[in-house]
Amino acid sequence: MKYILESYGCQLNMAEANALEILLKGAGMEKTEDANDADAVIINTCSVRKSAENRIWGRLSFYHHIKKAVRPVTIVVTGCMAERMKDELIKEAPFVDAVIGTNEKMEIVSFLQGNALEKEDRYQFVSSYHKDGEFSSYVPIMNGCNNFCSYCIVPYVRGREVSRPVDEVIREIEMLDTLGVKEITLLGQNVNSYNYNGMTFPGLLDEICLHLKNIRFVRFDSPHPKDFSDELIEVIASQEKVCSHIHLPMQSGNSRILQLMNRKTTREAFFALADKMRKGISGLTFSTDVMVGFPTETEEEYNDTLTAMDYLSPLEAFMYYYNLREGTPAAKMEGQIDEEVKTARLERLIDEQLRRCAEMKQKRIGLVSQALVLGPTRNDKEAFLARNEHNEMMSFHPSSASVRPGDIVNLKTTELKGNTYLAVEA
């Protein structure tokens, strides 16, 4: 059987797609990119924005045409859209053979082998999410979210938090370590609220570090500011392999909007946390998520977000404007902001971040850091691209032929070209 697997959305969806590939290949199925040649198509969907769902409807029309005109391909829809719109998918797209929820995602293999699907009442972790041959790997450690931010669909489509057993996490990481993986990212929608039988996230991070031999970089995504404990700051500060580049989602810099968003933090508390982290973790840099145009956001409140971005000064930011998600409390709020206003606010936010980021990057020229060699650059095959713990991309000419993708090298940045540094081995 030949299959196509299309995956959209977040890192966890990508990790789950990797896990599914392992299972599909293990069952003797073969991957193809050619829709005319596929026996099965699996679409691993995302529901975070309307645009993501619209794209899936487009892909479904395409495969409907293949099914009618070319071959009787089996079409499976899974992921968050399958959770959110199961009835609508069955009604509007009757040519889809199965709509499979997140808890049952790994049973797709069994379904394609002709077996009946069994409903799972809990999220199922599997033994590996690793993509063959890669030096970086995602390691899901928890799924779901209990926070119910008022704009977010995740708690409705991924359910409540479930943490992966500690021994399973360690087993996968030890296996990755022997495979030559150099960088792992621990994943969860609310990663720092991990709790398995009393083992909390700081304890898990410490435990993981005890088992690392070759893995150099440990990252995690996404933490919630309200769960960022002093203990976690201490562990990051004391464990050299845990990257001192932290993704700290801000969403808004205004306390009233944060409250409406149900973020359970305030501007002041967020600033105090950022200060504490900067003080505790040497060389710390931030990335963040930030949203403008939340219902009822005034110009003044938007300006608070601009000044908060200045305060945080993230090296990277995922910036977007509020998108109404049916089924969330924010969708029913009065005072939805006009598209034009939201667009203008976002454009200014992006302009300011790009300017700030360019200035910060200029100041970081001359720093020496360890970096993971990713492979040859696109324009110069003699040069390699590498990424350091702050997610900064660097291009360098290796000093010897023994330098290979997957190596960890010491690099000194010498110049900034666009978003990439030129660097030399140090």
Interface residues with ligand SF4 (CB under 6 A) are: 145, 147-149, 152, 154-155, 189-190, 224
Q: Are 180 and 136 in contact (CB under 8 A)?
A: no
| The one-letter amino acid at 15 | A
Of 157 and 394, CB closest to ligand SF4 = 157
- Least Å from the CB of residue 68 to ligand SF4: 38
Supply φ then ψ for residue 214, to 5 degrees. -95, -25
Q: How far is the CB of 288 from ligand SF4 (least distance, A)?
A: 13
Q: Between residues 147 and 239, which has the closer beta carbon with respect to ligand SF4?
A: 147
Beta strands in 188-274 (DSSP E): 195-196, 199-200, 217-221, 245-247
Whichever of 145 and 218 has its CB closer to ligand SF4, that residue is 145
Q: Which is nearer to ligand SF4, 67 or 263 (CB)?
A: 263
Confirm if 89 and 72 have CB atoms less than 8 A apart: no
Q: Identity (one letter) of the amino acid at 402?
A: S
Comparison of 60 and 80: residue with beta carbon closer to ligand SF4: 80
Shortest Cβ 265–ligand SF4 spacing (Å): 11
Nearest alpha carbon to residue 322 among 300, 337, 304, 308: 337
What radius of gyration do the chain's Cα atoms show? 22
As measured in angstroms, the least distance from the Cβ of 258 to ligand SF4 is 11
* C-beta separation of 226 from 265 below 8 A: yes
163/239 with CB nearer ligand SF4: 163
Decide if 115 contacts 160 (C-beta within 8 A): no
Comparing C-alpha atoms, which of 147, 131, 229 is closest to residue 188? 147
Is the peptide bond between 222 and the residue preceding it cis, with omega within 30 degrees of 0? yes
| Nearest approach, Cβ of residue 190 and ligand SF4 (Å) | 5
Q: How many CA atoms lie within 13 A of 148 on its CB side?
A: 6
Residue with smaller CB distance to ligand SF4, 149 or 208: 149
Amino acid at 200: T
Nearest approach in angstroms of CB 147 to ligand SF4 is 4
CB 220, min distance to ligand SF4, A? 14
Smallest separation, CB 11 to ligand SF4 (Å) = 12
| Single-letter amino acid, residue 65 | H
Identity of the residue, 224 or 267, whose beta carbon is nearer to ligand SF4 in the bound complex: 224
Quickly list DSSP for 101-137: -GGGGGGHHHHHTTPPP---SS----S--PPTT-SEE
Shortest gap between Cβ of 119 and ligand SF4 (angstroms)? 24
Tell me if 123 sits within 8 A of 187, measured CB to CB. Answer: no
Q: For ligand SF4, give the closer residue by CB, 185 or 189.
A: 189
The closest of 80, 118, 122, 115 to 101, measured between CA atoms, is 80
Angle at 44 between CA 38 and CA 45, to 5 degrees: 130
